[in-house]
Amino acid sequence: MFAALRTWTAAAGLARRSLATAATAAAPSASAAAPAAAKAATEAAAEAAATASKRKYVVANLRLRAFDPLVLDNYARFMQAVAQKMNVGVSGTVPLPRRIRRFTVLRSPHIDKKSREQFEMRISSRLLQVYNTAPETALMYIKYVEEHLPSGVAMRVTEVQHLPVPFVYK
């Protein structure tokens, strides 16, 4: 049901890298400069943590598709209201391009090749992103939203796993 995507986040790597560069810069200096280097390392780590808390880390992408755009928009509003009640961070509804599929069919199966009928399907889609939420809370939110899925609306869930960036010291 969930397609796990492996994405890399840079926040853990930045904190490690700043600590590593501060430690290597402090190594050749005398013992009097060691407290200053430690202070610089902690300031760099605090700065990296502050910038990491401001970022939005996506936990899941919810893609909605339907033939009727009114039903789709009402359901998207419902999803945002539920997310607000559950304290789940959800981005605004992003309208994706509408797909139009056209078909031309013969009216009569035997004769009258010139007489044809044309049909079209208009598929509207929306994207919501769940971010800055614990994975357990996001799964609970997704299950609740799937249970209340109206007829005529399809939902595809893509779960994103954030892994620490491997850092190699040289």
Reduced 3-state DSSP string for 135-168: HHHHHHHHHHHHHCCCCCEEEEEEEEEEEECCCC
Task: For residue 170, tell me if it sits in a domain.
Answer: no
137-167 pLDDT per residue, tens:
888 999 999 999 999 999 999 888 777 777 7
**Identity (one letter) of the amino acid at 113?**
K
- The better pLDDT of the pair 132, 53 is held by 132
Q: What is the pTM of this model?
A: 0.61
Q: Which domain covers residue 22, as residue numbers?
A: 9-54
Tell me the mean pLDDT in the region 46-59.
63
Q: Indicate if 64 and 31 belong to the same structural domain.
A: no
- How many angstroms separate the CA atoms of 105 and 40, rounded? 73
Q: Residue 132: pLDDT above 90?
A: no
Task: For residue 4, tell me if it sits in a domain.
Answer: no
Greatest distance between any 2 Cα atoms in the chain:
98
Where residue 136 sits, what CATH number does that domain have?
A: 3.30.70.600
**Identity (one letter) of the amino acid at 160?**
V
153-164 and 89-90 strand pairing: unpaired
- How many angstroms separate the CA atoms of 149 and 114, rounded? 43
9-34 pLDDT per residue, tens:
222 332 333 333 334 444 444 455 56
Q: Indicate if 71 and 118 belong to the same structural domain.
A: yes
For the chain, how many structural domains are there in total? 2
- For the chain, the distance separating the N- and C-terminal CA atoms, rounded to the nearest angstrom, is 41
Q: Indicate if 72 and 140 belong to the same structural domain.
A: yes
Residue 93 DSSP label: P
| Band of residue 36 on the pLDDT scale cut at 50, 70, 90 | low
| Band of residue 57 on the pLDDT scale cut at 50, 70, 90 | confident
| Band of residue 1 on the pLDDT scale cut at 50, 70, 90 | very low
CB of 135 closer than 8 Å to CB of 127:
no
Q: Indicate if 50 and 86 belong to the same structural domain.
A: no
Tell me the mean pLDDT in the region 112-136.
90
H or E element that contains 112:
none
Task: For residue 3, tell me if it sits in a domain.
Answer: no
75-89 pLDDT per residue, tens:
999 999 999 999 998
Q: Indicate if 86 and 62 belong to the same structural domain.
A: yes
- The better pLDDT of the pair 37, 95 is held by 95
Backbone angles phi, psi at 134, to 5 degrees: -65, 145
Task: For residue 62, tell me if it sits in a domain.
Answer: yes
CB of 94 closer than 8 Å to CB of 128:
yes
Q: Residue 122: pLDDT above 50?
A: yes
CB of 79 closer than 8 Å to CB of 145:
yes
